Structure 1
Amino acid sequence: MKSLVFFFILSLLVSLNHAIELDFCVADYSLPRGPEGYACKDPAKVTADDFVYTGFRGEKSITNVFGFNVTLAFSYAYPALNGLGISMARLDLAVGGVVPVHSHRTSEVIVLIKGSIIAGFIDTNDNAYYKKLEVGDVMIFPQAMLHFQVNVGKIPALAFVSLNGANPGLQLTTPSLFGGNLPDELAQKITLISPQEVKRMRKILGGSS
């Protein structure tokens, strides 16, 4: 038993030592990405530009049917995030725009910069937690929970979100159901909506039967 405890402590110390062995691990996009992220770029080739993301600059065009635009600063676009367990996104919502129900592999914190939105999430007991947010308000969406945002103001809304994962993923529920290749018959059965409505949603979202 003592030897097992010793082995556990030794393994923990080795793990902790490995965790602080490098100051950073800027992603090397020339190498394949693994389940734990990208391989590290040669430190001799790392520059200050690797640590700066400029994708949030300027006005963002909104062209989708929902009336929103999301600019993602995930590890595949922002190399310095690799291995750090954090990421960000910019959220632009047109008047009346909606970010439909979606989920991530991580938790998310949102801060509203402009406008007025209703934001919320639904837990595994089907309880909805939602609130009207004003400028400066912050809300958290727990890990993997379905959540959404709706612009209820008279001007376009702007928010920034932070997620505790370098590549947290983004799955929009409605496009996943009707914008992909899920057969109509299955989409109808698992949503309990009519065949006509399934076809209408596919037409809007560009899915294939």
Structure 2
Amino acid sequence: MADQVLLLSLLATTFALAIAFEPSPLQDFCVADPASPARVNGQPCLDSKLANASHFSFKGIHVLGNTSNPQGSKVTPVTVVQIPGLNTLGISLARIDYAPWGVVPPHTHPRATEILTVLEGSLSVGFVTSNPNNQLISTVLQKGDVFVFPVGLVHFQRNIGNGNAVSLSALSSQNPGVITIANAVFGSKPAIDTDVLIKAFQVDKSIVSSLQTQF
């Protein structure tokens, strides 16, 4: 009997750890207070008596993003930074605008799964599974289609039409984070040692130096 209790306790603890990506709310809300000197995993709470509607709203998700950049895309995030009331609630949004043939380059969200819905246009999307298989799972989405990018996996989006495209993503974190692969590898500060990148990508030093200059 004792062994069964111990096993059930271990299973319950493992399950709790598996789902506890972010702090569970123990109150109605915990409006983020970035001015607080407290240091916690997330954001400290503002006095609930000071909360108002502005802490729970964001205006501008309908605004067309400026895609006049080398990638031809613009992400409008709606995270705990934009809506302090999202603190501890484990969810956020992002609007993504794409110029014709614009891309959101390969990136990861270290703290969130993303579910994307196409609002306008056609998108080529995909993600790559982890080592050792590195399988590309990709498809083409049309208006109204939905696709999921699992937490932590490298993924991308590309507008494959001659007109603008728009998508809306929901993410399972108040602060999902973004690691753009090219920026992280070739634009780190200080720079990753050139010899490391030469061996990692099996290319000449001149190519690595050129890429580091761009990023």
Q: Share of identical aligned residues, percent?
A: 31
Distance (whole Å) between structure 2 residues aligned to residue 157 and residue 64 of structure 1: 15
2:139 is paired with a residue whose SS is strand
What pairs up with 1:77-116 in 2 under 5 angstroms?
77-105=82-110, 106-116=112-122
Distance (whole Å) between structure 1 residues aligned to residue 37 and residue 205 of structure 2: 42
Distance (whole Å) between structure 2 residues aligned to residue 200 and residue 53 of structure 1: 40
Which residue number corresponds to residue 160 of structure 1?
A: 168
Distance (whole Å) between structure 2 residues aligned to residue 141 and residue 118 of structure 1: 13
CA contact (8 A) 1:36 1:83 kept: no
Q: Which stretch of structure 1 is more off in the superposition, 150-159 or 32-41? A: 32-41
Distance (whole Å) between structure 2 residues aligned to residue 189 and residue 35 of structure 1: 39
1:33 is displaced (CA, Å) by 6.6
Distance (whole Å) between structure 2 residues aligned to residue 200 and residue 91 of structure 1: 29
Which residue number corresponds to residue 178 of structure 2?
A: 170
Compared with structure 1, are the counterparts of its residues 87 and 33 closer, same or farther at alpha carbon in structure 2 (3 Å cutoff)? farther
Q: Does 1:138 align with 2:138?
A: no
1:75 is displaced (CA, Å) by 1.3
Q: Which stretch of structure 1 is more off in the superposition, 131-140 or 28-37? A: 28-37
Which residue number corresponds to residue 184 of structure 1?
A: 194
Instruction: Summarize deviations over 1:109-157 as a string: whole Å, max 9, x none.
Output: 0001111110111112211111110011000011111110011011111
What 5-or-longer segments of structure 2 have no aligned partner?
14-22
Q: Which stretch of structure 1 is more off in the superposition, 78-87 or 60-69? A: 60-69
Which stretches of structure 1, 4 residues or more, deviate above 4 A after TM superposition? 32-35
Q: Which stretch of structure 1 is more off in the superposition, 130-139 or 70-79? A: 70-79
Among 34, 43, 52, the alignment partner of 1:38 is: 43
Compared with structure 1, are the counterparts of its residues 32 and 136 closer, same or farther at alpha carbon in structure 2 (3 Å cutoff)? farther
What 5-or-longer segments of structure 1 have no aligned partner?
13-17
TM-score (norm 1): 0.84
1:32 is displaced (CA, Å) by 4.4
Which residue number corresponds to residue 199 of structure 1?
A: 209
CA contact (8 A) 1:27 1:40 kept: yes
2:184 is paired with a residue whose SS is helix
Compared with structure 1, are the counterparts of its residues 131 and 33 closer, same or farther at alpha carbon in structure 2 (3 Å cutoff)? farther
CA contact (8 A) 1:32 1:38 kept: no
1:173 is displaced (CA, Å) by 0.4
TM-score (norm 2): 0.82
Which residue number corresponds to residue 20 of structure 2?
A: none
Compared with structure 1, are the counterparts of its residues 32 and 130 closer, same or farther at alpha carbon in structure 2 (3 Å cutoff)? farther
1:100 is displaced (CA, Å) by 1.1
Which residue number corresponds to residue 15 of structure 1?
A: none
Which residue number corresponds to residue 28 of structure 2?
A: 23
